[in-house]
Chains A and B, each alone.
Chain A
Amino acid sequence: MPDALDCELLVIGGGSTGAGVAWDAALRGLQVILVDRSDLATGTTGRFHGLLHSGARYVVRDPAGARDCARENAVLRRVAAPALEDTGGLFVTTPLDDVEYSNHFLAACPAAEVPVEEIPPAEALRREPRLNPAIRRAFSVRDASVDSWKLVWACAGGARELGARILPYHPVLALLRDGSRVTGARLRDLRGDRELEVRAECVVNAGGAWGGRIAGLAGLHVGVRPGKGVMVAVNHRLAGAVVNRCHLTGDGDIVVPSHSVSIIGTTDTAVEDPDDVEPTAAEVAAMLDAGDALLPGLSRARALRVWGGARPLLPRAEGPGIDHRAISRSHSVIRHSQVDGMAGLVTIVGGKLTTFRLMAEDTVDAVCQELGTDRRCATAETPIPVDGPHGHHRLSHRAEAFEHRLERSDGTDPLVCECEMVPRSELLAAARTHPGSDLDDLRRLLRIGMGPCQGGFCTFRTAAILHEAGLLDATRAVSVLLSFVEERWKGQRSVLWGQQLRQSHLDEWIFQGSLDLEHLPETSAPQSTRAQEPLPNGRDPLGRPLGTATAQDDRIASPPGPEPEP
């Protein structure tokens, strides 16, 4: 008999939608459990370009969707400021773009409530000197760069403060049914190696691109069409603002500054399996070439990494031959009690990160109807507890924090990841508040391994430091190191040319030539997902009593995040 938990609302899917639903429902006083098959924000939410839309991209094709974006952009600037960098955005008419479109564009903005200001091309070039000097028109909009991981952890952390339980690494095995009613779900606890039943008065399917599969567990059909989008991160910020081509959307027409890199996006092709999103070399090449129209020379920039994400699109009409880009980016809330006669289940699909709060509001409204209760949404006025200094995120925050740390420390807090300036103390603080984390979980918290060396130097250090602190035993330290190296490799395979190929071969020399990673005793052994048991004698591997030798590590606050296993 599996362990059982009870709640009012079970949310399946820990992306921005699910985390937003959990935050919204918890604020309305519902008892919530949020589950994900993996870590939070590892699906579509963690695999996009990080653009908080101004709405301008959709004003011509989808004015209603554009209006949602514009409104939500303004709301998130209030309630989630530290997760955003206020980069601003530019739409520019390149020589490849039809000037006629820019007329439609400018005329459509007011109706969609999208703030826009035309600026002279010379002014746009002054702001962004790498822009194509041949641009003919330029429009300034309120695009921003958003850290989706921070946003999701903040929603989940805020919900947890209000009593919600957050269960990452808990894939759904089955939906529990009582006749024509969904009553919960049976889960697999990957880290505890056991099964678990969650009984709920209502279940939200926030599986996004995987939502069709979740609905299928109740025998229901939801026609989600995963749309694959490919992104490439290039070294440095080629522009300080988000830059977009002013045309009717295509591949490789957005470049988003994100932390210390620029991300170019994206493509849109239908895929059957939302897990099948590995970019092809041809997609990468086409996108970088397209980027030259915006920022000449982008195709020769050093590409660090490439990845794909799956949009949770819901076509209004199904069938082959539909134009994927023409599918609305707006969202749909499906009360299955109304459309399928299956009570207790609400599915949310479509939408985008920019409108995640509105999607959550509409979803929880439907949940309240299912539950026969009337509770007002409070997310538009309540700040999400995002970790970070007051105000919007700035690129300089990390350097400022580092300098501050240097001033007050005795210098024994070395940088573990030089590319992203992550010190040892910050690594340990994050690992201690997230027991059982592997290096990829910590990457999302700290950005370790995301810079030019793609983990060549910091991976070994990170695994060793976690082991030293008693957080991993030696066998697991090697296994998390190995799986991180493999994970980083996936994103580099399609960008192996020029300087990044040199870097990648240096990493091969380090990992294989010097560390002989491929021949450790653990390398061929099955990799355990279990967290390490506490060391029996209460001492770390250097023989120091646990928790005393590193008092200074605890001075650094860690970001809030998902709670450990119950």
Chain B
Amino acid sequence: MKVDALVIATGEGSLPLATGTIDVLGYSPGLVSSPFEALPTFLHANPEHPYRIAGIDGVEHALAWLAETAESLGYQGGLVRNRWVPTVLGGLRPTSMLPRSMVSADLHANAHAEIVVAGIRGYRDFHPALLAANLSLATPPSGGRTIRARATEVEWPGNSSDLVPFRLARRLEEAAVRREIANRIRPSLGGATAVAMPALLGRERWDEVHRDLEGRLERDVFEVPGLPPSLPGLRLSDCLRRALRRAGGRLLLGSSAVSATRVDGEVRSVTVTQAARHTEVKAGFVILATGGFAAGGIARDRDGTLREPLLGLPVHGPQVGAEPTSPRFLGSQPLDRAGVRTDPTGRPLDTAGEPWARNLYAAGAVLAGAVPWREKSGEGVALATAWAVTGAILGGAQ
């Protein structure tokens, strides 16, 4: 069914801040080996979690949709087992799907006899020595031998001031730069079977960069994502936008939804501001995908009031007077679960517990009940809830 879809977006969204991996469930709170097996128990223990909107089938469908839609990025994996991929600190992080540039980062099954961690001197967000040292201390949760990792750092060919991610990624798309980098890494390779590199291996032509480096080094090469901005996240963002355009959808970038008109229990239109103009956008259905606190989809005032700034939906979370946080950063933070509550189909609820509007749905981090960075569920929640509410809309419209 052909649907005329319009995406109103203020900016790039959170993908360029994220790792580019697809996390579904890594901790529940214990380590999760198989999200497929763990999800039913997890949902039972967390009945308010947004995954309940999608159900395990919805999560599976959403991942399949992503693999197909972002085929050019070569995502592999799924719900059956988690992958264990190194962080820039050298820990192992569980995730469900990896883009091709990270597939060999899965250290699940004694994948590599030895890994060389290759950094670029002067690039501030990748430190091979610490990564390798911690990786050598880590044990894959599936058992198997300790990981052997060594660090090396090479000079950047050319002007080494201002080594920022976008510039490095663009320069690595030049064959001459790659040749030089590979030549400088090669003497450190020894018996290593894989090379870990900062996630800077190109933006548009990442596949060529990745394959070329693997060829030149005659080893598996994988990217390790770290601090924002993230090239793997940006590539996924680029890819999904292209998919939207291909499917005939429109993206209004640099715009903001500022209010909505609701008549007889239905959202009739959304007011959008762009370039200092207000425009009324009429819509049959509206999906609220404005994000959590970090994105501004949920806000907290100084007096402790929680707000959903666009529509004024009630926000479920620690109320005024309740203790919103733990004294420990790594403790349990009630505020982190704050968000919009919905009915089982993903429609936000008003204070009486009824859908705020018949045709309003919500997806992603705006939803209450998840701590995505702790659970390692960010992309999974975004994709699965988006899949579910889209399905509800298409089903309902038929």
Q: Which residues of A contact B (CB under 8 A)?
A: 281, 285, 288, 299, 406, 410-416, 424, 457, 460-461, 463-465, 467-468, 473-475, 477-478, 481-482, 485-486, 488-490, 493, 496-498, 501-502, 504-506, 508-523, 540-543
Contacts and interface: CB of A to CB of B under 8 A. Distances in A.
Contact of A512 (B134, B328, B374): B374
Nearest to B300: A497
Contact of A464 (B19, B129, B335): B129
Contacts of A519: 27, 31, 91, 93
Nearest to B128: A542
Contact of A521 (B121, B138, B296): B138
Given A412-B161, A490-B327, A461 B88 contact: no
Interface string B109-145: 0000000000001111101111011100110000000
Contact of A415 (B18, B91, B124, B226): B124
A460 B18 contact: no
B336 interface: yes
B91 A411 contact: no
Contacts of A540: 129
Contact of B124 (A414, A478, A497, A542): A414
Given A468-B130, A520-B89, 16 more contacts: A410-B161, A411-B160, A411-B162, A485-B329, A489-B329, A496-B324, A505-B294, A509-B17, A511-B373, A513-B18, A513-B23, A516-B89, A517-B330, A521-B138, A541-B151, A542-B129
Contacts of A486: 328-330
Contacts of A461: 124-125, 127
Contacts, number: 169
A556 B204 CA distance: 40
B91 A474 contact: no
A505 B31 CA distance: 23
B152 interface: yes
Contacts of A457: 227
Scoring A511, A515, A521 by chain B CB atoms within 10 A of each residue's CB, the highest score goes to A515
9 contacts: A411-B122, A411-B159, A467-B127, A497-B301, A501-B300, A502-B293, A502-B295, A504-B293, A505-B293
Contact of B302 (A299, A416, A502, A514): A299
Contacts of A516: 26, 87, 89, 91-93, 376
A515 B87 contact: yes
Contact of A478 (B23, B89, B335): B89
Given A496-B335, A506-B294, A541-B151, A514 B163 contact: no
Scoring A501, A513, A517, A518 by chain B CB atoms within 10 A of each residue's CB, the highest score goes to A513
Contacts of B26: 516
**Closest 8 A-B residue pairs measured CB to CB?**
A411-B161, A464-B127, A513-B373, A474-B133, A541-B129, A489-B329, A505-B294, A512-B373
Contacts of B226: 460, 514-515
Given A467-B129, A510-B227, A518 B374 contact: yes
B378 interface: yes
A498 B87 contact: no
Contact of B303 (A285, A412, A475, A518): A285
B89 A508 contact: no
A542 B18 CA distance: 28
Nearest to B139: A521
A489 B329 CA distance: 6
Nearest to B320: A281
A169 B90 CA distance: 31
Contacts of B374: 512, 518
Contacts of A488: 329
Interface string B288-325: 00001111100111111000000000000000000011
A515 B163 contact: no
A416 B123 CA distance: 10
B83 to A, nearest CB: 13
Given A478-B89, A505-B292, A412 B227 contact: no
Nearest to A487: B329
A475 to B, nearest CB: 7
Interface in B8-43: 14, 17-19, 23, 26-27, 31
B225 interface: yes
B153 interface: yes
A286 to B, nearest CB: 11
B160 A410 contact: yes
A382 B91 CA distance: 53
A305 to B, nearest CB: 14
A281 B303 CA distance: 8
Given A465-B127, A467-B129, A468-B130, A514 B301 contact: no
B300 A513 contact: no
Contacts of B152: 542
A460 B327 contact: no
B57 to A, nearest CB: 26
A22 B17 CA distance: 50
A505 B329 CA distance: 11
A515 B226 CA distance: 7
Contact of B130 (A413, A464, A512): A464
